[in-house]
Chains A and B, each alone.
Chain A
Amino acid sequence: MTNATEESAIKQEPRGRSRLSRILDSDIMHSFLRSKITILSAVVTLLFLIGAALAPWIAPHNPFDLASISILDARLPPIGMEYSDPNYLLGTDDQGRDVFSGILYGARISIAVGFLSVFFAAIVGVLLGLIAGYVGGKVDAVIMRVAEVQLTFPAILIALLVDGVARAVFGNLDRERFAFWILVFSIALSFWVQFARTVRGSTLVERNKEYVQAARLIGIPPFLIMIRHVLPNVIGPVLVIATINLGLAIITEATLSFLGVGIPPTQPSLGTLVRIGNDFLFSGEWWIAMFPGCALAVLVLAVNLLGDWLRDALNPKLR
């Protein structure tokens, strides 16, 4: 009895340890640690995530608390310039809101829209791709034709159309209330195609393999085969596409907000902040637009670099 427990303890001990060490010792981890740029972009992305998540606690001011902002503080330049106020690191906008705090709160919305829209796009795309690849025939033809038609239109155009329809359906006031979800929906709608095409491609390969045939033979229903057996084998590339699309989704959100059809100025995202600041570019208050714009650019650049690295690291041809 004691022998048995000891044996199982011995067996379990390396297993428990190996999970961590397996991650630390994997090819991916090695290639991660080899590339300084990747580490840097991971750190930057992480900083943005933390800053966005903790914005209400770490932001020096609350730009949405009307009681705490004063019009007397409006248009103060960033510190280091003449007339600046040490309270406002990156200056203030036309209503006296702190630009730095605005960026933290704005990044929160930008990142949330980015993550949610990619998440929904991935779910819809992966499901449709699985079904198209596994079922084949007419279902496949219909799904892929729809995907092709949609692929001929750029994401931004589809999102604009969805927004126009939403305005007509909800009216302008209600639209502002739902702006966040309309935006998530329209970006997700324009991003699912790439997921579906990739997953369909790998499902076509997987479905003829022996383990799928075996599962079919013992009578597992097709839906369970797709989810439990095929899905884990086709999910790798999805991760890469998701990372690359995250950068794209954040850009799309910012662009729509900049065009004035995204997040309204009452709860600004990074794109909305640039839109607000754009009006003051000519009167010399460059910091109102430039700092949020730069924050956006750095965030997207870091996410894109991570995506590039992940694609190369998961591609066995390049190892």
Chain B
Amino acid sequence: MLAFTIRRLLQAILVMLVVALISFTLFRFVGDPVNQMVGVETTPEQREALRELLGLNDPILVQFGRFITKAAQFDFGTSYQFRQPVAELIGRRLPATLELSFVSAVFALLVGIPMGVYTGLHRDSVLSKLFLSISLIGISLPTFFIGILLIFVFAVTLQWLPSFGRGEVVQLGWWSTGLLTWSGIKALILPAITLGLFQMTLIMRLVRSEMLEVIRTDYIKFARARGLRQRSINFRHALKNTLVPVITITGLQLGSIIAFAIITETVFQWPGMGLLFLQSVQNVDIPIMAAYLMLIAFLFVTINLIVDLLYFRVDPRLRVERAAH
């Protein structure tokens, strides 16, 4: 277990270093950082002084080392377009994105798993076929179009829910939450469904195919022969064994939920970091791009690491296999 953990940790650090290198290259070589910071009337001497001050004349390796040290403290300098520290800008937007991602992941799990169990157990029922057709459409519809459809139906035509923004937010220290006000919750519903729909269909299909396989196994037949109640067989014995891949996929999808939030945030004008990142791409605001890249990579790598270790804990076969070697 320890050797496995250490190896995975080293791999994670390697990935982070590679991403840091890409971020650094972006920051240092795409466009001239000095040009972005000063006006037209700045003299060459002043520019040179600024270069010296920023350390842009040092050897590249030294600069890279400094970049990593600063990145570890989440110091990415000043945004070109807002003239504010990048860390502050992202920090202010982070709660909105994390709240949206979390709620949509919960939605995907709470709806996806029961649907998957149902379609797995009742293969040929009409409802199962309906669920499966919906899931196929859910996978084929682009996220942004789902968002627009939902806005069109629930915000424009029915006028039940707001179509943009976060509603009223409550400040808890540095964290701003929309979950404590009625308008905040109402504003969250459509974006969360839009973001979670793809994951929901994925989880449903996964649970379904795992259920189909598990139900054929001997130990389920044995449980049935023992006269256990069907409900207890389905949920205690069968579902439990389908959960390993579900944990993996959900974990891995958590990362892409945060990335796909870019689209949802654009459709609903949700003031999160995805929207900030998109603006920074359109305005070539390299410090924000670099910081966002590092942050997402860090989230991905951490989640992957946790999922791998969880896998190890949940599936005893993996441990036995390793012990045998």
Contacts and interface: CB of A to CB of B under 8 A. Distances in A.
Interface in A280-302: 281-282, 286, 289-290, 293, 296-297, 300-301
A281 B156 contact: yes
A149 interface: yes
A169 interface: yes
A281 to B, nearest CB: 6
Contacts of A165: 26, 30
Q: What's the dominant secondary structure at chain A's contact region?
A: helix
A157 B260 CA distance: 8
Given A274-B145, A293-B148, A163 B281 contact: yes
Contacts, number: 112
Contacts of A274: 144-145, 148
Contact of A154 (B148, B256, B277, B289): B256
Given A274-B144, A296-B142, A160 B281 contact: yes
B96 interface: no
B281 A154 contact: no
Interface stretch (A67-75, A133-141, A193-201, A252-260): A252-260
A255 B281 contact: no
Contacts of A153: 259, 296-297, 300
Given A156-B260, A300-B142, A168 B148 contact: no
Interface stretch (B71-79, B103-111, B132-140, B317-325): B132-140
Interface in B219-274: 255-256, 259-260, 262-263, 266-267
B100 interface: no
B49 to A, nearest CB: 25
Contacts of A258: 142, 144, 263, 266
Given A152-B304, A154-B259, A301-B140, A161 B293 contact: yes
A77 interface: no
A145 B296 CA distance: 19
A156 B30 contact: no
> Which applies to chain B's interface (DSSP): helix, strand, loop or mixed?
helix
Interface string A259-290: 11100000000010010001001100010011
A261 B156 contact: no
B15 A168 contact: no
Contacts of B296: 153, 157
B188 interface: no
Given A154-B256, A304-B140, A259 B266 contact: yes
A160 B278 contact: yes
Interface in B136-173: 136-137, 139-145, 148-149, 151-152, 156, 163
A260 B145 contact: no
Nearest to A292: B145
A6 to B, nearest CB: 56
Contacts of B156: 281-282, 286
Contacts of B113: none
A293 B149 CA distance: 9
Contacts of A289: 148
Contacts of A251: 142
Interface residues on B, range: 35 or more
A311 interface: no
B289 A161 contact: yes
A125 interface: no
B189 interface: no
B26 A154 contact: no
A165 B193 CA distance: 32
B284 A297 contact: no
Interface in B273-325: 277-278, 280-282, 284, 286, 289, 293, 296-297, 300-301, 304
A152 B255 contact: yes
A301 B136 contact: yes
B31 A168 contact: yes
Contacts of A229: none
A247 interface: yes
A152 B15 contact: yes
A306 to B, nearest CB: 12
24 contacts: A149-B15, A152-B255, A152-B297, A156-B262, A156-B263, A157-B259, A160-B262, A161-B26, A161-B281, A164-B284, A164-B286, A164-B289, A168-B31, A168-B284, A247-B140, A251-B142, A258-B142, A258-B263, A258-B266, A261-B281, A281-B148, A282-B156, A290-B152, A297-B145
Given A154-B256, A161-B289, A281-B156, 10 more contacts: A152-B15, A152-B300, A153-B296, A156-B263, A157-B262, A161-B293, A271-B142, A297-B142, A300-B140, A304-B139
Interface of B: 14-15, 18-19, 26, 30-31, 136-137, 139-145, 148-149, 151-152, 156, 163, 255-256, 259-260, 262-263, 266-267, 277-278, 280-282, 284, 286, 289, 293, 296-297, 300-301, 304
The 9 closest A-B pairs by CB, nearest first: A301-B140, A164-B281, A168-B30, A154-B259, A293-B145, A168-B31, A154-B256, A168-B284, A258-B144
